[in-house]
Amino acid sequence: MPAKQTSEKAKSSQVFGQARKPAKMFRAGLYARVSTNDQQTIPLQMRALREYTARRGWTIALQVKEVGSGASERQLREKLLDAARRREIDVVLVWRLDLWGRSVADLLSTLQELDHLGVGFVSLTEALDLTTPAGRAMAGLLAVFAEFEREILRERVRAGLAHARQNGKKLGRPVTAATKAGEVQALHRAGISKAEIARRLQIGRTSVRRILE
């Protein structure tokens, strides 16, 4: 009698619509960020990030929760980047791209650094997984948008400078007091007061005193 063969269909979680493949035990760093007026969504983000990490079979090495406003500096984000530089995490998980990057250029810069360090990056909302070929192709598109953003900023700067020149505004760095030391000493020898020297040369009184001392 042939031996009874039993087969059980393997249950595999779907990740971004694709069957999960066996992978090494990655150490994940989770990053959640909210605005000052929207702090109640932190638990929602962290729960989704933890659930995704569990489905991938990864371990959580670091969790960062940051509260800020607008495009302000992501100071706590540096904890994750430092952990990546120390090779303490293998992948970074975020809820949404704009929560991680202040701008397209900033986003691309950090993603390029993570890629150079061999650290993956996953954004749940955009279903972006830079550990896959499709995700890396998306990173290439981000590079195009980042260059477009930089070009727009350059155009705005050039337009602003041209407008300032048309209105007679002097451009460039302000003259430092050290470059006017000779004039300060000459005026002082001529009996001009320190306050008047500062006014004429448009430098601070403290700078005048330091030069004369």
The torsion angle over the Cα atoms of residues 71, 97, 27 and 45, rounded to 10 degrees, is 80
The position carrying tokens 């691309």 is 108
Residue 104 lies in a domain: yes
Q: Are residues 201 and 135 in the same domain?
A: no
Q: Which domain holds residue 188?
A: 177-212
Residue 167 lies in a domain: no
Residue 120 lies in a domain: yes
CATH code of the domain in which 66 resides: 3.40.50.1390
Q: Are residues 137 and 189 in the same domain?
A: no
pLDDT digits (tens, 9 = 90+) for 83-133: 999 999 999 999 988 888 877 778 878 888 888 898 999 988 888 888 777
pLDDT of residue 35: 74
Whole-number Å distance between alpha carbons of 212 and 192? 12
Q: Are residues 134 and 190 in the same domain?
A: no
Q: Are residues 103 and 196 in the same domain?
A: no
Question: In whole angstroms, how far apart are CA 108 and each of 74, 111, 149, 156?
Answer: 15, 5, 11, 21
Q: Are residues 86 and 188 in the same domain?
A: no
Residue 154 lies in a domain: no
pLDDT digits (tens, 9 = 90+) for 140-198: 666 555 555 556 666 777 777 776 677 766 655 555 666 777 788 777 777 778 887 88
Q: Which helix (H) or strand (E) holds 184?
A: helix 181-189
27-35 and 91-94 as β-strands: parallel, antiparallel, unpaired? parallel
Type of residue at 152: I
pTM of full prediction above 0.75: no
Active site residues: 35
**Length of the chain measured in residues:** 213
Residue 15 lies in a domain: no
The position carrying tokens 């992948």 is 91
pLDDT of residue 8: 43
Q: Are residues 55 and 133 in the same domain?
A: yes
Q: 139: how many CB neighbours lie within 10 A of its CB?
A: 16
Residue 160 lies in a domain: no
Residue 134 lies in a domain: yes
Q: Which helix (H) or strand (E) holds 64?
A: strand 59-68
- Tell me how many domains the chain contains: 2
Residue 163 lies in a domain: no
